Amino acid sequence: MSTNLELSLKDAIDAPRTVIDIRYSEVGLVQVRIRTTDPHAILNELAARVAAAPHFFRRIAVCLDLSALEKTPEVAEIHAVIEAVRRVGMLSVGLAGDGVELETVASALNLPILSSFRTPTRPAPVLEPEQAAPTTPEPAPAPADSNVSTLIHNQPVRSGQRIYARNRDLIVNAGVAAGAEVMADGCLHIYGPLRGRAMAGGRGDPAARVFCQEFEAELVSIAGVFRVFETIPAELAGMPVQAWLAGEDLHFAPIGA
């Protein structure tokens, strides 16, 4: 018996350790939707936007969304666009868009097609008048893995930390430090200083909102539309603030105003 035990222990000690772990995780990614493949026009507009917050956009990973183009571009065109994006300090790490031709472009550029940014290609069904959708849509059923409607986090979120509330709201009963990220598929409530990045409506919900007690955010995003602190009215700094989305515009106002 002891001999077998000794052999088992020896095998466990001699067994090679794995050198990698492969895990799926939520990754923050900026989407750049282009309406032209003219690299000079793209470079000029990106440079102007980056100038407003150079520290945020420096070496940030971006997904190039080609869905707004009239046709699938040539490989050389997208290569020129990627170079323009690189010149302003951004790094293109994937493509998104419509059409089977995109696979050929992505393969030639050795870039992945990022499924989270794919634009739906199936047309919406045409409804007859008697089948018209109700003016108030029925709420979607709660996801099976959402046992709690709200995730409550009671500790400060330190720099480098990321808290994500999947399919629900997030309440942080403390501060969010610079360099930290708080994300929710629903609304965000921060009962303390917000100095990091706050992202609500993570799966595209435009009705999501961000509420914070002391507004010093590096970035606020709702359903992918974002603004960095340098482009937010300075008079809101340090105040209780709410943020909401109206169309493609992100609005900010003092809470209770």
Amino acid at 90: M
Choose the final residue of a domain: 72, 99, 117. 117
Interval 8-42: pLDDT, tens: 555 555 656 777 765 544 556 778 889 999 999 99
User: Which pair of tokens denotes residue 98?
Assistant: 């419509």
Same domain, 154 and 249: yes
In this structure, what CATH number is given to the domain that contains residue 220?
2.160.20.70
Which phi and psi (to 5°) does residue 250 adopt? -95, 125
Structural domain includes residue 7: no
Global pTM value: 0.58
The residues of the chain scoring below 50 in pLDDT are 24-25, 118-147
Q: How far is residue 94's CA from residue 179's CA, in Å, rounded to a whole number?
A: 24
Interval 45-54: pLDDT, tens: 888 878 766 6
3-state class (DSSP) for residue 234: helix
Give the helix ranges, DSSP H, for the chain: 2-14, 39-52, 54-57, 75-87, 101-109
